[in-house]
Amino acid sequence: MAPMTPPRGLTALHLRQGHPDFLDLPWHLPLEEWTPKVCSRLVEVPKGLSRHTVVFVSYGADIYALKEMPVPVGQREYEVLRGLEERRLPAVTAVGFARVRAQDEHGEELGVLITQYLPSSLPYRVLFMNKGLERYRERLLDAMASLLVRLHVGGFFWGDCSLSNVLFRRDAGELQAYAVDAETSELHAKLSDGQRELDLMIMEENVTGGLADVAAMVELPATLDVYATAPSIRQRYERLWSEINKEISISPRESYRIHERIRALNELGFSVGEVDLVASGDGSQLRMRTIVTDREYHRHQLHNLTGVVAEERQAGLLLNEIREMKATLTREVNRSVALSVAAFRWLDERFRPTLNRLQKELGPATDEAELYCQVLEHKWFLSERAKKDVGLAVAVKGYVALRREQPALALLRSASVPLTTEDTLEDSRAETPPPTPKGAPLP
């Protein structure tokens, strides 16, 4: 067999398993010159500001982000992103790294980092353009603070936390934030207070600067003050950080307080890896310190029970449904039923049939857990109005009718706001537009 000639311009390609080979891309051209004419895979999705050129390509339903940068910088970022993935921290996933000689053969060699497009993600600008922003503001600030806490717990020094370097995903009425740019980042076993403080200072400077830039172009909603927003994120960060790191003093007879403390952290979504108990001076008291490992307590639990991948708050809601099912089954058979048994029944009788039905009616969904949570939310709304449980079938029917009426029904929703038709118009602006071939008008 004749050896394969590498595509023009490509000097090396490092790729992870399970993705396309990307060999059909016009590597001989700088990313800036990729147009629909030379690259039919190009798609346009909303993105944040960036110094480097970033383009998106699609292979079937899978979309990838390509970022052109100097080779050593790109290689480092690839390694850091792999490290983040190993530590299960919320960030985009690195897929590969290409080395290209774009201009001519004497030209400088450049690197192209390939990451998986984070599905259903929104850059902050899309959130800002939404008229209904007010209700997401608090969530955006909490999501940013929670992301920084999670990354710091995992030993990640970001070095460039900004609004543009965060992507937001909806999570049952709230937002989850993901890191998208790790060029300046470092992974450590543990961060010092100094490193955390530096990261917070960088965040404050970047967020304030970013907001000032946006404010110069469009009028920011009154709730998003250029100078008050970053300090508010810091405050939320500090509150959360001290909550998870606080030491409590208990007497040896109050061992139930150990469980109480762990449960309180679990409620906040944190998994507790270790508990340290140290006797104080005269031994009459114990100092208790907990070490949290991640903020995915409910996600892990749901995944272990059902295999369903969900965001943290979605997982919390779905687990509540499973617990409800366990209680019902227990009552029916008059003896305790294991949660795993209830989880199986729930998957089989509620989750899967509901999603199948929705798929038949509305087409394939990219974010099944969110979709199911929206139906649940609609069920609560209808039940509250009817003053009785309307059941899942009625909720599905109502939800489908609403989505038909308003196809662009926003997927970014607040759990506290009932699903009504008036609500959908302004919300629809917050939806991530589906990827469109580059050159074609955005919807």
Ligand X SMILES: Nc1ncnc2c1ncn2[C@@H]1O[C@H](COP(=O)(O)OP(=O)(O)OP(=O)(O)O)[C@@H](O)[C@H]1O
Q: Which residues bind ligand X (CB under 6 A)?
A: 47-48, 50-52, 54, 65, 67, 92, 115-118, 121, 123, 164-165, 167, 180-181, 183
DSSP state of 31: G
For residue 2, what is the DSSP state?
P
Site for Mg ion in 163-192 (CB under 5 A): 164-165, 181
For residue 237, give Cα distances in angstroms to 81, 158, 200: 23, 15, 9
Q: Tell me whether residue 117 or residue 237 sits nearer to ligand X (CB atom).
A: 117
Count of residues engaged in binding Mg ion, rule: CB under 5 A: 4
Handedness of CA 340, 344, 345, 350 (dihedral sign): positive
Residue 223 touches which of ligand X, Mg ion, none (CB < 5 to 8 A by kind)? none
54 contact partners, CB below 8 Å, separation of at least 6: 31, 47, 65, 66, 67, 68
CA–CA distance, 202 with 23 (Å, rounded to integer): 38
- Hey, which residues does 413 pair with through a beta bridge? none
What, of ligand X, Mg ion, none, does residue 167 touch, CB below 5 to 8 Å by kind? ligand X
Q: What is the dihedral of CA 337, 343, 348, 349, to 10 degrees?
A: 70
Chain centre distance of CA 240: 19
* Distance of closest approach, residue 300 Cβ to ligand X, in angstroms: 24
Kindly state the smallest distance separating residue 51's Cβ from Mg ion, in Å. 7
Report, in Å, the least distance between residue 110 CB and ligand X.
13
With CB atoms as reference, the residue minimizing the distance to Mg ion is: 181
Q: Which helix (H) or strand (E) holds 94?
A: strand 94-100
Nearer to ligand X, 49 or 262 (CB): 49
Name the minimum Å distance from CB 121 to ligand X: 5
Question: Considering beta carbons, is residue 164 or 290 the nearer one to ligand X?
Answer: 164
Residue 52 binding: pick among Mg ion, ligand X, none (C-beta 5-8 Å cut-off by kind): ligand X
The alpha carbon dihedral of 332, 338, 343, 345 has a sign of: negative
Q: Which is nearer to ligand X, 126 or 347 (CB)?
A: 126
CA–centroid distance for 354 within its chain: 24
**CB of 65 or CB of 319, closer to ligand X:** 65
Q: Which residues of this chain interact with Mg ion, rule CB under 5 A?
A: 50, 164-165, 181
